[in-house]
């Protein structure tokens, strides 16, 4: 995995490609690599949908090996949603396959001069870039099915739906899972619009004939991987809660904590939470012949995914994530889990970030366009996006645009990106992350819920401002490093509580590459990545005033605890004082 595949979509009469060594990017993977390439090669002030922007697709440092949990894929660009640097992360099969094909990254550059749609096929024999206008207007599911019929069920795909073709700023990039479904998405920040601007509809990956990446010290690697897996299985969150109920186990937990944003962040508890909880969902999945415990990629041992069927046993969607259930559930006042799963499928097919789109739907309800709790009306709005109507394009452009168009003053976004499923007034550590992350409001950038609510890695009172800046800072540094390994961010639960699990992760990296990383080096890597990202954003025009939550979080208390976000601005400005 020592080479970069560069595909110039704007070269002459037809796209060209070249394979180059990592060069100055050696030693980086995942988010570290995507952010380094974007910072070095994309003008910070360029238009995100112009030829100057690039889309970087990178597996992690451990991807393609036998390391458990190493199948996360980083996709980076200048975000059309935030205007800043972006890394969006997805599960599924592509990271492992791309790494086994030997590529540390695929970089899409330039912009075609003609109105054609392209597909890219990558296998052991090389690269083909072909016009395929028959894919125009297809959803992800139909487009992937067409590829599987042509190339076989063993392929994996990276694709965009209609939203990406329309270059909507809430558009996602789909990755196929173990069943070949385009159900795992790099959603945040609108990367699908950038892929659409390059006129690339589909990337087909086939690692037939390629072998698993081998470590320099196989014995040490196997021993470390075994200890790592044992740590994940013995931790209460990764070994019990997530496998049993998926990420949606958090619905009842956050609702009880008073941090479950309801009716566009007016309240901290939702009366219908139990109807859409992880416990309820897992019970339905089991009863209907779905799966409550499932891995989104090979090598996953946490298995927090699932398969959701309808009452007749027919597939509806992959198990909706907690944030998806919230954005269409409590945020919109909807307590029908079947309708929420249906919306999840529709958005996966169209290619939309479920957080951004769900928050936009709630804002449409706030504006009185449809009523809170009306799931059928919400589904109709999603169909407007699919058809590309003016109203659909507004909703499909995300929360900030929707709020602006409908004249709302309570719009929960930071740097243009929708705030996810944890009220920052009742989970203040996450509020610090939302405000200061280089990515815009992003819970995964520094998941303070772990310590504020779940008491992983200690405990910092979620209702008090003290200690939240240090908590968020440390988590943002650690997350940037984890995102570079290809590891699922959920491994952090065990890393924070079980020291030997963290040691095992470092041992895997050292034995794979024949290097001598220390814990201090891991911290330095995370700091380096954040500095690269903040420098890019500063050049793009971001200042400390952009590291703030919307004013209503300071002014309006949220029940039941009746608290506001009261971490002082001067403290927010110290988050990146390493």
Which alpha helices (H) appear in 101-217, and where do they start and end?
140-151, 162-165, 191-197
Give residue-wise pLDDT tens across range 493-532.
Answer: 999 999 999 999 999 999 999 999 999 999 999 999 999 9
pLDDT of 114 strictly over 90: no
Provide the pLDDT for residue 382.
98
How far apart (Å, rounded) are the C-alpha atoms in residues 253 and 237? 13
Dist. CA 287–CA 285, nearest whole Å: 6
**171 pLDDT above the threshold of 80:** yes
Question: What is the average pLDDT value for the chain, to the nearest integer?
Answer: 97
- pLDDT at residue 208 above 90? yes
Q: Report the alpha-carbon distance of residue 476 to residue 26 in Å, rounded.
A: 23
Report d(CA 160, CA 192) in Å as an integer.
6
User: Does pLDDT of 11 surpass 90?
Assistant: no
pTM for the predicted model, two decimal places: 0.97
Peptide bond into 416 cis (omega under 30): no
How confident is the model over 37-86, as pLDDT tens digits?
A: 999 999 999 999 999 999 999 999 999 999 999 999 999 999 999 999 99
Alpha-carbon gap, residue 235 to 462, rounded angstroms: 22
Q: Is the pLDDT score of 113 beyond 90?
A: no
As given in the structure block, the two tokens for residue 177 are 């899972």
Selection from 470, 473, 475, 486 nearest residue 449 by Cα:
475
What pLDDT, on the 0 to 100 scale, is given for residue 540? Answer: 98
Domains of the chain: 3-205 (3.60.9.10), 215-245+425-578 (1.10.599.10), 259-423 (1.10.569.10)
Count of helices and strands (H, E) across the chain: 24, 17
Query: In this predicted structure, what is the pLDDT of residue 515?
Result: 97
Residue 115, pLDDT score:
87
Return all residues near 287 (Cβ < 8 A) that are at least 6 apart. none
pLDDT, one tens digit per residue, over 235-289 is 999 999 999 999 999 999 999 999 999 999 999 999 999 999 999 999 999 999 9
pLDDT over 90 (residue 99): yes
Q: What are the backbone dihedrals phi and psi of residue 492, each rounded to the nearest 5 degrees, phi first?
A: -60, -30
Average pLDDT over residues 176-201: 98
């Amino acid at each position: 995995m020592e080479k970069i595949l560069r595909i110039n979509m704007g070269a002459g009469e037809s796209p060209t490609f070249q394979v180059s060594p990592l060069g100055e990017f050696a030693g980086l993977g995942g988010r570290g690599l995507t952010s380094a390439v974007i910072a070095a090669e994309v003008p910070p002030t360029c238009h995100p949908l112009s030829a100057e922007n690039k889309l970087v697709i990178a597996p992690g440092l451990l991807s393609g090996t036998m390391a458990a949990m190493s199948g996360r894929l980083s996709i980076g660009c200048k975000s059309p949603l935030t205007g800043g640097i972006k890394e969006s992360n997805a599960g599924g099969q592509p990271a492992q396959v791309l790494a086994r094909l030997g590529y540390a990254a695929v970089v899409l550059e330039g912009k075609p001069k003609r109105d054609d749609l392209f597909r890219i096929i990558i296998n052991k024999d090389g690269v083909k870039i072909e016009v395929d206008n028959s894919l125009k207007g297809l959803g992800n599911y139909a487009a992937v099915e067409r590829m599987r019929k042509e190339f076989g069920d063993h392929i994996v795909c990276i694709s965009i739906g209609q939203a990406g073709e329309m270059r909507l700023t809430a558009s996602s990039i789909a990755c196929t899972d173990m069943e070949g479904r385009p159900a795992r998405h790099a959603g945040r920040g609108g990367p699908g619009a950038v892929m659409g601007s390059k006129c690339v509809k589909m990337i087909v990956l086939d690692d037939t004939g390629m072998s698993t990446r081998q470590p320099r010290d196989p014995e040490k690697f196997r021993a470390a991987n075994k200890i790592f897996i044992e740590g994940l299985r013995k931790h209460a969150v990764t070994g019990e809660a997530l496998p049993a109920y998926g990420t949606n186990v958090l619905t009842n937990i956050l609702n009880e904590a008073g941090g479950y944003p309801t009716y566009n962040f007016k309240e901290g508890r939702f009366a219908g939470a139990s109807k859409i909880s992880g416990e309820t969902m897992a019970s339905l999945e089991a009863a209907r012949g779905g799966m409550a415990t499932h891995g989104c990629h090979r090598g996953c041992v946490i298995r927090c995914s699932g398969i959701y069927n309808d009452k007749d046993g027919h597939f509806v969607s992959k198990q909706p994530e907690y944030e998806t259930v919230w954005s269409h559930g409590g945020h919109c006042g909807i307590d029908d889990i079947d309708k929420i799963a249906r919306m999840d499928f529709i958005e996966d097919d169209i290619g939309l970030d479920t957080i951004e789109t769900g928050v936009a739907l709630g804002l449409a309800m706030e504006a009185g366009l449809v009523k809170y709790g009306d799931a059928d009306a919400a589904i109709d709005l999603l169909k407007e996006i699919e058809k590309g109507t003016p109203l659909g394009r507004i909703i499909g452009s995300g929360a900030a645009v929707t709020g602006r168009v409908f004249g709302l003053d309570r719009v929960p976004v930071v740097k243009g990106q929708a705030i996810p499923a944890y009220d920052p007034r009742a989970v203040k550590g996450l509020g610090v992350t939302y405000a200061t992350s280089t990515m815009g409001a992003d819970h995964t950038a520094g998941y303070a819920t772990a310590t504020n609510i779940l008491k992983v890695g200690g405990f910092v009172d979620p209702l008090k401002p003290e200690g939240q800046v240090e908590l968020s800072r440390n988590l943002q540094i650690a997350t940037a490093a984890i995102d570079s390994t290809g590891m699922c961010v959920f491994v952090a639960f065990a890393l924070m509580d079980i020291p030997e699990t963290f040691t095992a992760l470092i041992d895997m990296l050292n034995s794979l590459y024949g290097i001598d990383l220390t814990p201090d080096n891991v911290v330095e890597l995370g700091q380096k990545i954040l500095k690269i990202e903040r420098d890019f954003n500063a050049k793009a025009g971001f200042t400390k005033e952009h590291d703030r939550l919307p004013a209503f979080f300071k002014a309006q208390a949220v029940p039941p605890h009746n608290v506001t976000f009261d971490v002082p601005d001067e403290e927010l400005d110290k988050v990146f004082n390493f």
